[in-house]
Amino acid sequence: MTNLDAYLQRQRERVDRELEQRLPPADARPRLLHEAMRYSLFPGGKRLRPLLCLAAAETVAPELAGTAHEAAMRAALALEVLHTYTLVHDDLPCMDDDALRRGRPTLHVIYGEANAVLAGDALQSLAFALLADAAPVAGRLVAELAAAAGSQGVVGGQVEDIAATNTTPTPETVAFIHRHKTGDLFRAALRMGGIAAGASPAQLEALTRYGEAIGEAFQITDDLLDAAEVGASPAKPAPLSCLSVITPAAARTRVQSLLTQALASLSPFDPTARAPLEGIARRIENRKI
């Protein structure tokens, strides 16, 4: 196990412990709702957004402690909870109608469509509740997450995604959907970690550039891996994949450019402190994270 692997594993374990403690107990009434919320969150995915948030905070303040540490953890948890809500709603029959998520039946398959909608609603509320006590930066963190989640964020991206179904996508439409459905939460993760740690305006701008670059690189890589998995040819890519508007070679070149930009954006920070963010960026290309 490399130093980065060990670091990421420790952070994932911290996030899971904190989520376990801060979620309503599964047997608390209404039991069905709380079971459904936990079904969506556990076992989780790779917890990439909270990992990025915590790594950003520690890049700004390597000796993160006290209220800054608590704010960063609350931000990390809120990001994961909100991301999970978006997945629950995205999987619904009226959206993408997916039956599997992370190798298991999706929430609406197990608990019914109505309960899946309500579980997603409850997760979204919980995300903002987690930020409410993140003194002294609660307001700024709430504003960041709300902007990433709302009509000009994930929800707006989903609306454009639905509208573009069965149409011929344009590069502008694909870029808009990917930037908002995927990229905005990456951007928010870096910014929220920086805000929690007391980042200066210059530091926050550097983290923003990093977040935007790896958010786009992550989505392009996802499209490339999906195409390879299903054996899609460049002539017939998945709907609204970046491969519907650029070639695989151009997509790989774009990923390399974005990762170079992401790494360059970290130059103002201490080399040791920024090492986890650098390591994450280098692993994005093959999604080995």
Q: What digits encode the pLDDT tens for the residues 104-134?
A: 999 999 999 999 999 999 999 999 999 999 9
Please provide the DSSP assignment of 247-288 as one string: -HHHHHHHHHHHHHHHHHHTTTS-HHHHHHHHHHHHHHTTT-
Residues of the domain holding 185: 3-284
pLDDT greater at residue 285 or residue 49: 49
Q: Which helix (H) or strand (E) holds 125?
A: helix 113-132
Rounded to an integer, what distance in angstroms lies between the CA atom of residue 119 and that of residue 242? 31
Q: Quick one: how far is CA 81 from the chain centroid? A: 10
Is residue 256 in a domain? yes
Residues 6+ apart with CB under 8 A from 144: 188, 191, 192, 195
Whether the CB-CB separation of 195 and 144 falls below 8 Å is answered with yes
Q: What is the CA radius of gyration of the chain?
A: 19
- The pairing of beta strand 100-101 with beta strand 104-105: antiparallel
Token output for 29: 């009434």
* pLDDT tier, 102 (very low <50, low <70, confident <90, very high otherwise): confident
Least confident of 142-146, 216-220, 281-285: 281-285
Distances, alpha carbon 190 to alpha carbons 8, 14, 214, 235, in Å: 16, 18, 10, 36
Q: Would you say the pTM of this structure is higher than 0.85?
A: yes
Query: What is the longest distance spanned by two Cα atoms in the chain?
Result: 54
List the structure tokens of 173: 């439409």
Among residues 124, 133, 132, which one has the least CA distance to residue 79?
A: 124
pLDDT at position 286: 73
Q: What is the pLDDT of residue 1?
A: 56
Say yes or no to pLDDT of 233 above 90. Answer: no
Give the chain's length.
Answer: 289
Q: What sign does the CA torsion over 64, 52, 211, 140 have?
A: negative
Decide which of 231 and 111 is more confident.
111
DSSP state of 244: G
Residue pLDDT, tens place only, 242-279: 999 999 999 999 999 999 999 999 999 999 999 999 99
199 closest CA partner among 11, 10, 52, 72: 72
In a domain, 289, yes or no: no
Confidence of residue 238 (pLDDT cuts 50, 70, 90): low
> What's the token pair of residue 32?
């069905």
CB 281 within 8 A of CB 257: no
Q: How much is the pLDDT for 288?
A: 66
3-class secondary structure, 104? strand
Q: CB count, 10 Å around CB of 222?
A: 16
Strand ranges in the chain using DSSP code E only, listed in sequence order? 100-101, 104-105
Q: Is the pLDDT of residue 289 over 70?
A: no
The answer to whether residue 120 is domain-embedded is yes
Contacts of 100 (CB under 8 A, 6+ apart): 106
Identify the band that residue 30 occupies on the pLDDT scale cut at 50, 70 and 90.
very high
Pick the closest to residue 207 from 215, 161, 87, 98 (CA basis). 215
CATH of the domain at 175: 1.10.600.10
pLDDT in tens, 41-61: 998 889 999 999 999 999 999
Report the number of distinct structural domains present in the chain: 1
- pLDDT tier at 79, thresholds 50, 70, 90: very high
Q: Are 183 and 203 in contact (CB under 8 A)?
A: no
